[in-house]
């Protein structure tokens, strides 16, 4: 029979081991924060950063405003005088209504936030699938980002890309990435969530494929593993998923017969695996169906165990 | 001698001509060189008013009006095609050959070369034999269906190819912009042609325009009969000859007060230097009874010669010399119709020579066209087009395209995807340089109609964006055994991603992975799948051109809406709840 003392001892042991077990994750998170510069004093720092912030309702701009408040404002990520590279999805020469590209209003608001936080320069670029200038134009992202004061940079010339090696990659050991994604102090990944005929779903991880010059390489070497590998090259400072209007079928380009849902959501996270996990659920899919999510988790890029995470679900 | 007020006005005119022609030239060059920066509208309008392309378009318009005019829309379309050419003809017939001085970019380029060459100019006899044979050869080649060869005499196409294949690549190289490399033969051929013309201009001014250019020859003929044109007023001309030394066309014989109206390009250099303001634009009342009147006035003026404060004897001697050469010339009957027996016979002789040379030109043209077609015919293999022979949307068929495209390169220079590239014989030797779509470079953008909007010769008919998006210019072939999904067992779908109509879709196959499925009926042949297919060295999906373009079917509205498999979660976002 267990004595009272034994019971307390047992409890202490379980507690201690639980603490020990959770340490690597916490340490990891601390290190991840440590890589970033300390946020400026102008913004009150929350006691602890949330793992995922999801905002539902309202408009694109108001969702972003609300979500950033949970982090204590954009100043948490962008320090005065830093350069920022924003990587939206500008893959297609399609109008915003098709939701094949990131919503231009969201990009515009994000640029404004970065500049308000004191960013020296805000660059916006993507390696479009369709013709670059036409995609920049038709997506309205070029006009909106410029109106907010961003520098819109082309992504359709190989001379803009530099070869880097990816330590820890399984198959994609070397890749040519856009020079601004290398150069910028802060790298913000702003995908649109939608169906994808090849990868199944495109969101934060798949969006980084657009910062790369030779996408054919991904397909030849194995799409899922390469998508997971490319995320190892640079961890985005922040992932902002546009799930305002999501394409359920006929992605990524979008057709007149594509089906849509309107979650009216914006999902923010520093964990690229976690954000893709909850995004898959938002699209009505099962996250484990996507090979690249599991592979990325294996490479310690993040976690799919969202039950353990601090998720702030906010309504507007 | 102090120039008269009218002469100073002439210099203003002369300068204004340089400025105006320079602006037009800049519109052309910038339009060709910097398609991304320079708006489309100015170059589109300029191209539409180019003589030879508008003539081709006008012929198509005439055909529409003549044979389909009963159908209102066809008639209206025909008239729309005809307008600029008819206007050019009528304006030139009444107001003279202004076109060559203002609207021709190659003309301006020659003017600059002539100015830079600073050669000692003077009157040079015309060469009607060369001129007639070149014009006849051009027409015969065109009628014979070898417009690609004929276009090597046509100024807009020559200038366009020079800009598109020589200057633009050079500019892009200097700006370090990526661009697909052109075969060196194209760069060399277009550069050489332009260099020859510009080089000649440095020594002989507008020699090309008055010997080889078909537009120059036709407009020259019109100018001879134009009621309003540039003339020398023999009543005031002092025969100083300054005009001859500046004339860019070498067509002014100032000493003899003779202006060859068939060669005058309206550069207005003469107007600028004439000290007495005698080169004037207008109706030539004094010239009504030409020749004799001129001579009488010459004699009259010689009598009045004492008034001039210049050494009389010198001038008189000079004039007598002039008169002798003049009579000689008149007797030879080369330049002016004199009703003397010798002159009359000479005239017949000249006309016979011209007719003979025209016949030789026609013979050469027809022969050249036939030879090119025979060689092309040997390669022809029925309905199948040779690999890479994809003609742009709006060309209707590769055959029609080969016969109507002058290969000016404007669409090549301005294609946003840079997929329009000069053909190297895919459309036959008669249509060398006529652009084809090269899917190894990129693919035709679904919503883009740039080439159709620009084409000045009517080789590409205007299509609305909706029509263009249904125009089937080629067809894809999918080789499943080469496909990455089948071969490697990994996900791909690059073809389906890029397909703008859904003709290639990913459908879950036996392997459990999405595999490509192809429907030819809605494929428009844009080459998106071809370009995107990552398989090396041989692509799994390729697009080849159709000899005759078709209309693709409209994709089904349920193409991407397959019935959901039982048990699959359907997202609901109405409840306001978060799905995670």
Q: Express each pLDDT in B515-543 by its tens digit.
A: 999 999 999 999 999 999 999 889 999 99
Rounded Cα gap, residues B318 and B316, in angstroms: 5
Q: What is the pLDDT of residue B299?
A: 44
Closest by CA position to B169, among listed B185, B152, B187: B187
Rounded Cα gap, residues B515 and B481, in angstroms: 11
- Cα B123-B128-B131 angle, rounded to 5 deg: 110
Q: What is the pLDDT of residue B38?
A: 81
| Residue A252 near residue A180 (C-beta atoms within 8 A) | no
Q: What is the pLDDT of residue A19?
A: 47
Across the range B243-255, mean pLDDT stands at 89
Provide the percentage of residues in chain A whose pLDDT is more than 70: 85
CB contact under 8 A, A198 and B492: yes
Q: B464: number of CA atoms within 13 Å, CB side?
A: 2
pTM, entire model: 0.81
Residue B350, number of CB atoms within 10 A of its CB: 16
Whether the pLDDT of residue A29 is over 80: the answer is: no
CB contact under 8 A, A284 and B579: yes
CB contact under 8 A, B534 and A215: yes
DSSP state of B447: T
Whether the pLDDT of residue B121 is over 80: the answer is: no
Structure tokens at A228: 């997971």
At residue A60, the 3 state secondary structure works out as helix
**Average pLDDT value over all residues in chain B:** 82
Across the range A232-253, mean pLDDT stands at 92
Among A157, A222, A311, select the one facing B177 at the smallest CB separation.
Answer: A157
Whether the pLDDT of residue A32 is over 50: the answer is: no
Strand ranges in chain A using DSSP code E only, listed in sequence order: 52-56, 83-88, 121-124, 151-152, 161-165, 174-178, 186-190, 192-196, 200-202, 238-247, 260-261, 265-269, 311-315
Buried b (16+ CB within 10 A) or exposed e, A273-307: bbbbbbbbbbbbbebeebbbbebbbebebbbbebe
Please tell me the least confidently modeled range out of A11-15, A119-123, A212-216, B399-403. A11-15
A93: which chain B residues are within 8 Å (Cβ-Cβ)? Answer: 445-448
- In A, residues 41-80, which contact B (CB 8 Å cutoff)? 54, 56-57
CB contact under 8 A, B499 and A253: yes
Question: What residue of B is the nearest CA neighbor of A309?
Answer: B580
Rounded Cα gap, residues B576 and B92, in angstroms: 73
| Residue A275 near residue A285 (C-beta atoms within 8 A) | no
Structure tokens at B233: 């007023």
Asked if B511 is an interface residue toward chain A (Cβ–Cβ < 8 A), one would say: no
Among B490, B557, B560, select the one facing A249 at the smallest CB separation.
Answer: B560
pLDDT, one tens digit per residue, over B189-208 is 999 999 999 999 998 899 99
Across the range B3-21, mean pLDDT stands at 79
Describe the crossing of helices B341-379 and B312-332 by its angle, rounded to 10 degrees: 60
B290 or A128: which leads in pLDDT = A128
pLDDT-derived band at B385 (thresholds 50, 70, 90) equals low
Distance set, CA B402 to CA B19, B64, B551 (Å) = 37, 19, 20
Residue whose structure tokens are 């001309």: B237
Provide the percentage of residues in chain B whose pLDDT is more than 90: 40
Across the range B58-66, mean pLDDT stands at 85
Buried b (16+ CB within 10 A) or exposed e, B430-457: bbbbbbbbbbebbbbbbebbbbbbbbbb
Across the range B314-340, mean pLDDT stands at 49
Q: How far is A9 from chain B (nearest CA, A)?
A: 37
Across the range B137-162, mean pLDDT stands at 89
| Residue B386 near residue B423 (C-beta atoms within 8 A) | no
DSSP string, B213-240: -HHHHHHHHHHHH-SSEEEE-TTT----
Residue whose structure tokens are 């019935």: B563
Distance set, CA B237 to CA A26, B219, B233, B277, B301 (Å) = 100, 26, 6, 8, 10
Please count the residue pairs, one from chain A and one from chain B, whose beta carbons lie less than 8 angstroms apart: 138
Across the range A9-13, mean pLDDT stands at 57
Rounded Cα gap, residues A59 and A264, in angstroms: 8
Whether the pLDDT of residue B1 is over 50: the answer is: no
| Residue A91 near residue A132 (C-beta atoms within 8 A) | no
Closest by CA position to B267, among listed B251, B291, B290: B251
CA gyration radius for chain A? 20
Q: What is the pLDDT of residue B555?
A: 87
Q: What is the pLDDT of residue B291?
A: 47
Residues 6+ apart with CB under 8 A from B72: none
Q: What is the pLDDT of residue A96?
A: 95
pLDDT, one tens digit per residue, over B405-463 is 999 999 999 999 989 999 888 888 788 889 999 999 999 999 999 999 999 998 998 89
Asked if B419 is an interface residue toward chain A (Cβ–Cβ < 8 A), one would say: no
A203 or A45: which leads in pLDDT = A203
Provide the percentage of residues in chain B whose pLDDT is more than 70: 81
Q: How far is B576 from chain A (nearest CA, A)?
A: 8
B228 or B142: which leads in pLDDT = B228
DSSP state of A307: G
Among B178, B445, B559, select the one facing A159 at the smallest CB separation.
Answer: B178
ipTM: 0.82
Q: What is the pLDDT of residue A22?
A: 46
DSSP string, B505-550: EEEE-TTSSEEEEE-GGG-----HHHHH---SSS-SEEEEEEEEEE
Q: What is the pLDDT of residue A39?
A: 40
DSSP state of B179: -
Whether the pLDDT of residue B62 is over 70: the answer is: yes
Residues 6+ apart with CB under 8 A from A244: A60, A63, A99, A103, A106, A262, A263, A264, A265, A266
Whether the pLDDT of residue B4 is over 60: the answer is: no
CB contact under 8 A, B580 and A223: no
Q: What is the pLDDT of residue B297?
A: 45
B532: which chain A residues are within 8 Å (Cβ-Cβ)? Answer: 129, 216
At residue A306, the 3 state secondary structure works out as helix
pLDDT-derived band at A102 (thresholds 50, 70, 90) equals very high
Question: What residue of A is the nearest CA neighbor of B557?
Answer: A257
Describe the crossing of helices A60-69 and A104-116 by its angle, rounded to 10 degrees: 40
| Residue A122 near residue A149 (C-beta atoms within 8 A) | yes
CB contact under 8 A, B36 and A133: yes
Residues 6+ apart with CB under 8 A from A305: none
Residue B379: alpha-carbon gap to chain centroid: 28
B573: which chain A residues are within 8 Å (Cβ-Cβ)? Answer: 261-265
Rounded Cα gap, residues A169 and A43, in angstroms: 37
Residue B561, number of CB atoms within 10 A of its CB: 15
Asked if A198 is an interface residue toward chain B (Cβ–Cβ < 8 A), one would say: yes
Please tell me the least confidently modeled range out of A289-298, B4-13, B29-38. B4-13
| Residue A175 near residue A212 (C-beta atoms within 8 A) | yes
Whether the pLDDT of residue B357 is over 80: the answer is: no
CB contact under 8 A, B491 and A281: no
pLDDT-derived band at B370 (thresholds 50, 70, 90) equals confident
Residue B335: alpha-carbon gap to chain centroid: 31
Asked if B369 is an interface residue toward chain A (Cβ–Cβ < 8 A), one would say: no
Cis before A252 (ω within 30): yes
Asked if A188 is an interface residue toward chain B (Cβ–Cβ < 8 A), one would say: no
Residue whose structure tokens are 């060459």: B117
Asked if A197 is an interface residue toward chain B (Cβ–Cβ < 8 A), one would say: yes
Whether the pLDDT of residue B56 is over 50: the answer is: yes
Q: How far is A26 from chain B (nearest CA, A)?
A: 22
Structure tokens at A41: 């004093």
Q: What is the pLDDT of residue B345?
A: 64
CB contact under 8 A, A222 and B442: no
**Main-chain phi, psi angles of B477, to 5 degrees:** -125, 125
DSSP state of B381: B
CB contact under 8 A, B445 and A196: no
Structure tokens at A214: 């030779």
Whether the pLDDT of residue A26 is over 80: the answer is: no
A75 or A28: which leads in pLDDT = A75
Closest by CA position to A253, among listed B32, B559, B50: B559
CB contact under 8 A, B493 and A220: no
pLDDT, one tens digit per residue, over A49-101 is 899 999 998 999 999 999 999 998 999 999 999 999 999 999 999 999 999 99
Three-class HEC string of B246-263: HCCCCCEEHHHCEECCCC
- In A, residues 7-46, which contact B (CB 8 Å cutoff)? none
Closest by CA position to A131, among listed B179, B444, B473: B444
């Amino acid at each position: 029979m267990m004595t009272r003392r034994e019971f307390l001892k047992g409890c202490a042991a379980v507690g201690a081991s639980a603490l020990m077990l959770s340490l690597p994750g916490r340490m990891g998170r601390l290190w991840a924060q440590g890589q970033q510069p300390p946020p400026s004093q102008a913004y009150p720092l929350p006691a602890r950063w949330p793992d995922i912030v999801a905002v539902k309702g309202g408009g694109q701009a108001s969702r972003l405003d609300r979500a950033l408040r949970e982090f204590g404002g954009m100043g948490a990520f962008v320090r005065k005088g830093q350069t920022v590279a924003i990587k939206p999805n500008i893959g297609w020469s399609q109008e915003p209504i098709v939701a094949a590209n990131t919503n231009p209003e969201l990009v515009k608001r994000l640029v404004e936030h970065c500049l308000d936080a004191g960013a020296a320069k805000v660059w916006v670029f993507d390696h479009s699938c369709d013709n670059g200038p036409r995609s920049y134009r038709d997506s309205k992202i070029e006009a909106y980002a410029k109106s907010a004061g961003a520098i819109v940079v082309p992504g359709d010339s190989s001379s803009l890309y530099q070869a880097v090696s990816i330590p820890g990659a399984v198959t994609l050991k070397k890749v040519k990435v856009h020079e601004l994604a290398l150069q910028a102090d802060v790298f913000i990944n702003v995908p649109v969530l939608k169906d994808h005929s090849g990868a199944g779903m495109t969101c934060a991880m798949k969006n980084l494929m657009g910062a790369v010059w030779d996408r054919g390489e991904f397909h030849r070497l194995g799409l899922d593993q390469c998508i997971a590998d490319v995320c190892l090259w640079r961890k985005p400072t922040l992932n902002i998923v546009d799930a305002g209007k999501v394409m359920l079928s006929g992605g990524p380009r979008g057709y007149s017969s594509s089906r849509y849902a309107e979650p009216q959501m914006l999902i923010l996270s520093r964990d690229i695996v976690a954000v893709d996990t909850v995004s898959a659920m938002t699209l009505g899919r099962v996250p484990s169906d996507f090979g690249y999510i599991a592979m990325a988790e294996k490479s310690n890029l993040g976690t799919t165990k969202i039950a353990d995470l601090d998720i702030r679900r906010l309504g507007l | 001698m102090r120039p008269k007020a009218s002469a100073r006005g002439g210099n203003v005119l002369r300068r204004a001509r340089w400025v105006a022609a320079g602006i037009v030239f800049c519109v052309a060059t910038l339009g060709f060189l910097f398609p991304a920066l320079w708006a489309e509208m100015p170059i589109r309008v300029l191209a539409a008013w180019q003589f030879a392309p508008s003539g081709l378009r006008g012929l198509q318009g005439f055909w529409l009006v003549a044979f389909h005019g009963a159908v209102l829309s066809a008639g209206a379309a025909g008239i729309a095609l005809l307008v600029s050419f008819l206007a050019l003809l009528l304006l030139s017939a009444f107001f003279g050959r202004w076109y060559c001085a203002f609207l021709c970019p190659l003309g301006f380029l020659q003017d600059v070369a002539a100015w830079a060459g600073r050669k000692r100019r003077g009157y040079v006899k015309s060469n009607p034999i060369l001129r007639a044979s070149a014009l006849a050869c051009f027409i015969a080649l065109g009628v014979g269906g070898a417009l690609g060869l004929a276009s090597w005499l046509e100024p807009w196409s020559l200038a366009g190819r020079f800009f598109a294949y020589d200057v633009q690549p050079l500019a892009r190289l200097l700006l370090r912009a990526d661009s697909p490399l052109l075969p060196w033969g194209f760069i060399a051929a277009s550069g050489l042609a332009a260099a020859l013309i510009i080089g000649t201009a440095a020594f002989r001014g507008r020699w090309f325009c008055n010997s080889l250019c078909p537009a120059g020859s036709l407009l020259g003929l019109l100018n001879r009969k134009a009621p309003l044109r540039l003339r020398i007023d023999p009543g005031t001309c002092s025969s100083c000859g300054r005009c001859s030394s500046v004339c860019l066309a070498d067509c002014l014989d100032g000493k003899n007060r003779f202006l060859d109206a068939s060669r005058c390009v309206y550069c207005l250099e003469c107007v600028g230097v004439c000290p007495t303001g005698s080169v004037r634009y207008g109706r030539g009342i004094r010239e009504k009874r030409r020749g004799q009147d001129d001579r009488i006035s010459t004699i009259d003026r010689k009598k009045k010669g004492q008034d001039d404060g210049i050494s009389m004897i010198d001038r008189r001697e000079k004039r007598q010399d002039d008169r002798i050469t003049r009579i000689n010339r008149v007797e030879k009957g080369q330049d002016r119709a004199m009703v003397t027996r010798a002159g009359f016979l000479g005239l017949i002789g000249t006309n016979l020579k011209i007719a003979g040379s025209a016949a030789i030109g026609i013979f050469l043209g027809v022969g050249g066209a036939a030879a090119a077609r025979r060689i092309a015919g040997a390669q022809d293999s029925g309905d199948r087009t040779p690999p890479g022979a994809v003609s742009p949307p709006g060309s209707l068929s590769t055959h029609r395209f080969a016969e109507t495209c002058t290969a000016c390169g404007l669409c090549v220079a301005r294609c946003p995807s840079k997929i329009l590239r000069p053909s190297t014989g895919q459309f036959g030797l008669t249509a060398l340089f006529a652009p084809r779509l090269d899917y190894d470079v990129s693919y035709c953008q679904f919503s883009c109609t740039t080439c159709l909007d620009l084409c000045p010769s009517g080789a590409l008919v205007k299509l609305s964006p909706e029509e263009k998006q249904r125009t089937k210019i080629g067809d894809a072939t999918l080789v499943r055994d080469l496909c990455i999904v089948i071969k490697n067992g990994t996900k791909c779908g690059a073809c389906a991603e890029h397909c703008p109509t859904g003709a290639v879709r990913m459908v879950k196959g036996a392997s459990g992975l999405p595999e490509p499925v192809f429907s030819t009926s809605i494929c428009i042949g844009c080459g998106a799948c071809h370009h995107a297919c990552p398989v090396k060295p041989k692509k799994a999906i390729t697009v080849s051109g159709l000899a005759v373009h078709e209309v693709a079917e409209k994709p089904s509205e349920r193409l991407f809406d397959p019935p959901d498999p039982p048990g699959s979660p359907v997202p609901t976002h109405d409840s306001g709840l978060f799905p995670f």
